[in-house]
Chains A and B, each alone.
Chain A
Amino acid sequence: MRYRAWCGLAVGLLLTATSVVACSSDDESAEGSPVARDDGPNKKPGSATEVNLPTLSRLTVDELQLTVPLIAGMNENAQWIQWLVNKGAGPVDAYSNEGLGKMMGRPDFVAVTNEATAPDTLYVKFARDMAREVCQSIRKSDETRSGNFTLWSQAPVDSAASDDEITNNLNRLILRFLGLRLQAGDDLLETYRQVYLAARGSATDSDAQKNGWQGVCMALFQDPAFYLH
């Protein structure tokens, strides 16, 4: 099993690296013209609305329910950090059917047997809600610890972090949230550096730096690369 896990990681990262090379060396092909698809005899020409089915899909509600706590980690009470909503009878897991799970499209296997995996407005709306609330919970949890932080494991917040420390922490968070190990200077890395700097502001005190990492957390939890696969 250990061998298989490492193989999975290795193959994944290899493919990622390959595609990154392709992306940076051939932007035109990356943007690409649509791949032709044979729609068979039922294809109606000239349709104003029909589009080809993409093979990408969003994470299902089940996948989100399992994934978000894994990324958010445990709080100071050794409980998984979950997205909780209060629907009248106290907080419940937002991804459960008692929470928002059914509204987000989880099938009930009575009337709905398939989950539509296009990222519709409601799904993305809840992604934004989740990002705010869970990142706030992660920050609160980190603030109670003396080490083993989730949001700032590679960069200090009690003193001004160096550029290298900020880069290392960004890389760690991108790996944690998106499963990507980026090269130095990668444009996504720079994108998140800008998020950090904007959220931190010009101050470098502890609160400002925590704001910066919380901002990065919220942005990563709203990144399309987190949801689409």
Chain B
Amino acid sequence: MKYPPRPSRRQLLGSLGLAAGAIAIGDVVLHGVEAHADNHELSDQNLLVFITFEGAWDTLLSLDPRDHTIYGSKASGTGIYTGLEEVRVFDPITSAMLDLTDGMSEKGLYQAPGSNLAFGPAMVTDVTGSAVTSPFGDLYEDMCVIRGVDMGTLTHEVGKRYFMTGKFPRGVLPSGSALGTWIAAQTPDSALIPNLVLGGCETINENLNPKASGLEIASIGDLQYVLKKVGATVVPDNIAQAIADAQASDSCVHKQLSPGGMIEAYRAGWTKAGELVDGNLFSDFNFVAQPTGDIAALYQAFGINPNNPAADLAGPKGRCATAAQAIVKGLSRAVSLRINPQSIDTHFDNWQTSHVQSLRPCFDAVASLIQFLKSQSFWDRTTLVISSEFARTPKLNNQNGRDHHLCNTIVLAGNGIKGNQIIGASGQDSYDVVPFDFDSQAPDETAPSPIRPADVHATICKAMDISYEHIENQEPKLLTEVLSETS
């Protein structure tokens, strides 16, 4: 056992003095906090699922692909190379696609009948004979693909935080609050965990109600520590009640913690913590082997092996299943998750050997998430955002990898979003950002500015029928064509 350092008596006395002093001066230095919480029921609320692929995805393999028959040669003379000849060596699905002659697969593309969206081999999960399977690609009617988004940075932390908040970071430090926090802050009392953050995704709360802060769950195993009491000690009801009374007492000492609103936040958390563990919520997230009831149905919907679920639960399937469960069980209004367990930051030949293989199960899990929310009648209220901090270069580097590239692609789907369309563009030869004319809502080389993350943020908020005043100083412009008529 490692002992903490034993304090000297004088250190202890000094600490006591400082602690007492801090409490005493608290009411002098506190600023006012005014929480405005509308007590809407969660059943009335629009919901958000915010998915991020951390490490920078290759959009040529996924959301902004190119025709392999045109861009599949290093000697093509363009600034774009699909790289599929390298990929197919390690990926049988890509190889099988390129061998087909159905008019699309040999181009390295998947486009469902009736779809305006063509996706790359990362969205194809199987090729058997001439049958190409793409659960994600088949959901084209729900999806709006925004191409040519200028991320303004090639630094992972900056890009990640920029898209998360809609504000360009200060150095690498985030500016503003995460989108999930902003959504949760609209109605912080509407759910037990209004802002759930999974899989190591970041979350930020700057100046918003503390109750809207993201609750970060690194793994599904950690969820048991959140939804159950930790430890075996049982407290009799009469003692629990006495403790609750003391905690809520209106004593002078407590009043001195009140002007800043922190004691109210603490007490709100205290009450909510009791509801968390007393509400039998754990049974909804008791992801054991060979489950029954709702959990069994959830496993089936996400393709999680019921006999040995651990590996699936740690990956994209488990993360998306947890997000879906949090939504349909009313636990959360906003769920943010990092979907990829392994990094996709493939600067070297690991791009060739692993990138498409890493993306594929993630997009497949997203497709399961959409289908599950549809089956549970939650899709109509859910807006889905799929992003990465930026893209990867359109040509291979000397190590057969791809480096960081500014021109990104974002997917929006669900509530408030008009699907089956592409907004914005990347250059046909350069793969650079093409400026965007917000009046005509079309790419225009002569337009003064490109699509920026702030514009996408504002559009998401508009789709969800909430204010985007928090990013007004970014002067966002709406992508009105993204919005459905009901937005």
Chain A residues packing against B (C-beta within 8 Å): 1-2, 4-13, 15-20, 22-24, 27, 30-37, 42, 44, 46-58, 65-66, 69-70, 79-80, 82, 85, 93-94, 100, 102-103, 105, 111-114, 116, 118-129, 132-133, 135-136, 175, 178-181, 186-188, 191-192, 194-195, 198-199, 201, 211, 215, 218-219, 222-225, 227-229
| Among candidates A22, A34, A94, A215, residue contacting B242 with C-beta atoms closer than 8 Å | A215
Q: Tell me if A48 and B208 are in contact (CB < 8 A).
A: no
Complexed CA–CA distance, A195 and B239 (Å):
7
Q: Tell me if B467 and A48 are in contact (CB < 8 A).
A: yes
Given known A103-B222, A198-B238, contact A121–B193 (CB-CB < 8 A): yes
Closest 8 CB pairs of A and B: A34-B32, A8-B17, A15-B24, A12-B20, A198-B242, A9-B17, A54-B260, A125-B273
Q: Tell me if B173 and A113 are in contact (CB < 8 A).
A: yes
For B242, give the chain A residue with the smallest CB separation: A198
| Among candidates A6, A23, A51, A127, residue contacting B35 with C-beta atoms closer than 8 Å | A51
Q: Does B96 contact A (CB under 8 A)?
A: no
Q: Tell me if B269 and A120 are in contact (CB < 8 A).
A: yes
Q: Tell me if A188 and B251 are in contact (CB < 8 A).
A: yes
Q: Least Cβ distance of A7 to chain B in Å?
A: 7
Complexed CA–CA distance, A195 and B243 (Å):
6
Across-interface contacts of A55 in B (CB, < 8 A)? 29-31, 260
Q: Least Cβ distance of A219 to chain B in Å?
A: 4
For B183, give the chain A residue with the smallest CB separation: A49
Q: Tell me if B11 and A118 are in contact (CB < 8 A).
A: no
Complexed CA–CA distance, A200 and B217 (Å):
38
Q: Least Cβ distance of A32 to chain B in Å?
A: 4
Q: Does B202 contact A (CB under 8 A)?
A: yes
Complexed CA–CA distance, A6 and B17 (Å):
8
Q: Tell me if B243 and A219 are in contact (CB < 8 A).
A: yes
Q: Does B270 contact A (CB under 8 A)?
A: yes
| Among candidates B2, B24, B30, B235, residue contacting A16 with C-beta atoms closer than 8 Å | B24
Complexed CA–CA distance, A53 and B177 (Å):
13
Given known A48-B467, A128-B274, A132-B233, contact A227–B266 (CB-CB < 8 A): yes
Q: Tell me if B217 and A191 are in contact (CB < 8 A).
A: no
Given known A56-B30, A132-B235, contact A31–B269 (CB-CB < 8 A): no
**12 other contacts beyond A85-B231, A228-B263, with CB at 8 A cut-off?**
A15-B21, A27-B255, A34-B32, A44-B469, A54-B30, A118-B205, A129-B229, A180-B23, A191-B245, A222-B246, A228-B257, A229-B26
Across-interface contacts of B249 in A (CB, < 8 A)? 187-188, 191
Q: Tell me if A70 and B12 are in contact (CB < 8 A).
A: yes
Q: Tell me if A124 and B269 are in contact (CB < 8 A).
A: yes
Given known A31-B255, A124-B269, contact A133–B231 (CB-CB < 8 A): yes
Given known A191-B251, A199-B238, contact A5–B261 (CB-CB < 8 A): no
Q: Tell me if B3 and A80 are in contact (CB < 8 A).
A: yes
Across-interface contacts of A132 in B (CB, < 8 A)? 229, 231, 233, 235
Across-interface contacts of B243 in A (CB, < 8 A)? 195, 215, 218-219, 222
Across-interface contacts of B30 in A (CB, < 8 A)? 32, 35, 54-56
Across-interface contacts of B305 in A (CB, < 8 A)? none
Across-interface contacts of B4 in A (CB, < 8 A)? 65-66, 69-70, 80, 82
Given known A48-B186, A224-B266, contact A219–B246 (CB-CB < 8 A): yes
Interface size bracket, B side: 35 or more
| Among candidates B23, B245, B255, residue contacting A229 with C-beta atoms closer than 8 Å | B23
Q: Tell me if B185 and A49 are in contact (CB < 8 A).
A: yes
- Listed A/B pairs (26) with beta-carbon separation below 8 Å: A8-B18, A12-B16, A12-B19, A15-B20, A16-B20, A16-B21, A19-B26, A30-B252, A48-B36, A50-B208, A54-B260, A79-B1, A80-B6, A100-B222, A103-B218, A113-B173, A120-B265, A125-B226, A127-B273, A133-B230, A178-B19, A187-B252, A188-B252, A191-B246, A224-B254, A228-B26
Q: Tell me if A51 and B231 are in contact (CB < 8 A).
A: no
Across-interface contacts of A80 in B (CB, < 8 A)? 3-4, 6
Q: Least Cβ distance of B37 to chain A in Å?
A: 9
Q: Tell me if B13 and A195 are in contact (CB < 8 A).
A: no
Given known A32-B259, A51-B34, A121-B273, contact A15–B247 (CB-CB < 8 A): no
Between B1, B31, B469, the greatest number of chain A beta carbons within 10 A of the residue's beta carbon is seen for B31
Q: Tell me if A228 and B266 are in contact (CB < 8 A).
A: yes
For A123, give the chain B residue with the smallest CB separation: B269
Q: Least Cβ distance of B207 to chain A in Å?
A: 5
Q: Tell me if B259 and A31 are in contact (CB < 8 A).
A: yes
Q: Tell me if A215 and B239 are in contact (CB < 8 A).
A: yes
Q: Tell me if A53 and B207 are in contact (CB < 8 A).
A: yes
| Among candidates A1, A120, A227, residue contacting B215 with C-beta atoms closer than 8 Å | A120
Q: Least Cβ distance of A141 to chain B in Å?
A: 14
Q: Tell me if A225 and B182 are in contact (CB < 8 A).
A: no
Q: Tell me if A126 and B230 are in contact (CB < 8 A).
A: yes
Between B23, B36, B467, B469, the greatest number of chain A beta carbons within 10 A of the residue's beta carbon is seen for B23
For B4, give the chain A residue with the smallest CB separation: A69
| Among candidates B9, B14, B15, B270, residue contacting A222 with C-beta atoms closer than 8 Å | B270
Q: Tell me if B18 and A199 are in contact (CB < 8 A).
A: no
Q: Does B277 contact A (CB under 8 A)?
A: yes
Q: Tell me if B262 and A54 are in contact (CB < 8 A).
A: yes
For B275, give the chain A residue with the smallest CB separation: A121
Interface code B455-486, partner A: CB below 8 Å = 1, 0 otherwise?
00000000000010110110000000000000
Q: Does B289 contact A (CB under 8 A)?
A: no
Complexed CA–CA distance, A224 and B255 (Å):
11
Q: Does B402 contact A (CB under 8 A)?
A: no
Interface code B402-427, partner A: CB below 8 Å = 1, 0 otherwise?
00000000000000000000000000
